[in-house]
């Protein structure tokens, strides 16, 4: 029981638009998982890349979660207010001689994996450069609660990756690792389109001496062509005037087999049922769930 009380999960959407069904799918799963363990569920707005942020998207996200009864604990955290923490982590890596400047553009990197061309290069301040993290030959292994045992060779499958971009923004990988640490996150549940980020994040955690959370990568919702639901694939807008129906549908897509009578229940009754009956194991090994009507 003591272990259960320490569970902290999070939902971390980017404010690039309103939440579509695919994002809400992940949000609901993460919420149910944490609540079924009597844990805390935190909300973080991943707004570090200001150029992609859409006006009003953050408040639309909060509104949607609230309408669905997915109430978060503690204050909402905004990545854009965490620059000093990212800078401190970056300096730690820099002081340990783990980063270097890279002037390459995507166009002049032929290989899929960056071959480390700039490792020994002298790059002057006046040049345009990104910062890359040095990787080595280690194998990163972790047990994913949704996808099983994963092994990645850091050098051949990832290579030296960017942690600070040419536009001076800290890269997603560094920001996420620092934020998960700052929020005390113990359980990361997210879509399996992000599973390739996990070995990079585990590597960063080891370099920064941070605890590694449990990872659980869920199937993602795809349209009838197999494409992930997103703004680009014109994911249907979720009708928040009928939150009960949205929750009921999501529970079906999460293979939780909600009883038909639940369709007529209130938001809090539906969530109560879903928390008590939460069965994440039915999703193990699945990478995509196809939406029939899309």
The binding site for Zn ion (CB under 5 A) comprises 102, 104, 117-118
Q: Which is nearer to Zn ion, 159 or 214 (CB)?
A: 159
Smallest gap from Cβ 102 to Zn ion, in A, equals: 3
Structure tokens at 59: 């408040």
Alpha-carbon distance 247 to 271, whole Å? Answer: 8
Residue 133 CB, shortest distance to Zn ion, in Å, is: 13
B/e letters for 44-56, b = 16+ CB within 10 Å, e = fewer, are bbbbbbeeebeee
DSSP string, 12-31: ---SSSS--HHHHHHHHHHH
Q: Phi-psi region for residue 98, left (φ > 0), alpha (ψ -120 to 50) or beta?
A: alpha
CB-nearer residue toward Zn ion: 116 or 212: 116
Q: What's the closest the beta carbon of residue 153 comes to Zn ion, in angstroms?
A: 21
Q: How far is the CB of 104 from Zn ion (least distance, A)?
A: 3
Give the integer Cα–Cα distance in Å for 82 and 80: 6
Q: Among residues 111, 67, 73, which one has the least CA distance to residue 243?
A: 67
Euclidean distance between CA atoms 95 and 163, whole angstroms: 15
Least distance between Zn ion and beta carbon 83 (Å): 24
Q: Among candidates 191, 211, 204, which has minimal Cα distance to 86?
A: 204
Min CB(108)–Zn ion separation in Å: 8
Of the two residues 135 and 198, which places its CB atom closer to Zn ion in the complex?
Answer: 135
**Three-point CA angle 282, 284, 287, nearest 5°:** 115
Nearer to Zn ion, 102 or 283 (CB): 102
Cβ nearer to Zn ion, comparing 117 with 212: 117
Among residues 102 and 178, whose Cβ is nearest to Zn ion? Answer: 102
Residue 198's nearest CA partner among 142, 116, 132 is 142
Strand, helix or coil at 22?
Answer: helix
């Amino acid at each position: 029981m003591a272990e259960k009380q320490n569970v902290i999960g999070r939902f971390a959407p980017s404010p690039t638009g309103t939440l579509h069904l695919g994002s809400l799918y992940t949000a609901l799963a993460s919420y149910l998982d944490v609540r079924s363990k009597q844990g805390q569920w935190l909300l973080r707005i991943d707004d570090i890349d200001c150029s992609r942020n859409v006006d009003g998207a953050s408040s639309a996200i909060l509104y949607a979660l609230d309408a669905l009864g997915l109430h978060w604990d503690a204050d909402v955290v905004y990545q854009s207010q965490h620059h000093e923490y990212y800078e401190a982590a970056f300096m730690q890596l820099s002081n340990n001689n783990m980063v270097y400047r890279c002037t390459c553009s995507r166009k002049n990197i032929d290989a899929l994996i960056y071959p480390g061309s700039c490792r020994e290069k002298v790059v002057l301040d006046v040049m345009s450069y990104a910062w890359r993290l040095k990787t080595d030959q280690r194998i990163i292994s972790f047990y994913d609660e949704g996808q099983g045992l994963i092994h990645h060779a850091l050098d051949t499958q990832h290579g030296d990756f960017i942690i600070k971009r040419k536009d001076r923004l800290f890269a997603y990988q560094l920001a996420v690792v620092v934020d998960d640490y700052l929020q005390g996150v113990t359980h990361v549940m997210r879509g399996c389109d992000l599973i390739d980020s996990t070995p990079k994040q585990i590597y960063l955690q080891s370099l920064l001496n941070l605890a590694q959370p449990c990872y659980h990568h869920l199937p993602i919702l795809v349209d009838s062509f197999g494409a992930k639901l997103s703004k680009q694939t014109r994911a249907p807008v979720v009708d928040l005037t009928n939150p009960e129906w949205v929750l009921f549908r999501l529970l079906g897509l999460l293979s939780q087999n909600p009883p038909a009578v639940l369709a007529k229940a209130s938001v809090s009754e539906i969530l109560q049922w879903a928390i008590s009956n939460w069965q994440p194991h039915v999703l193990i090994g699945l990478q995509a769930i196809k939406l029939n009507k899309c």
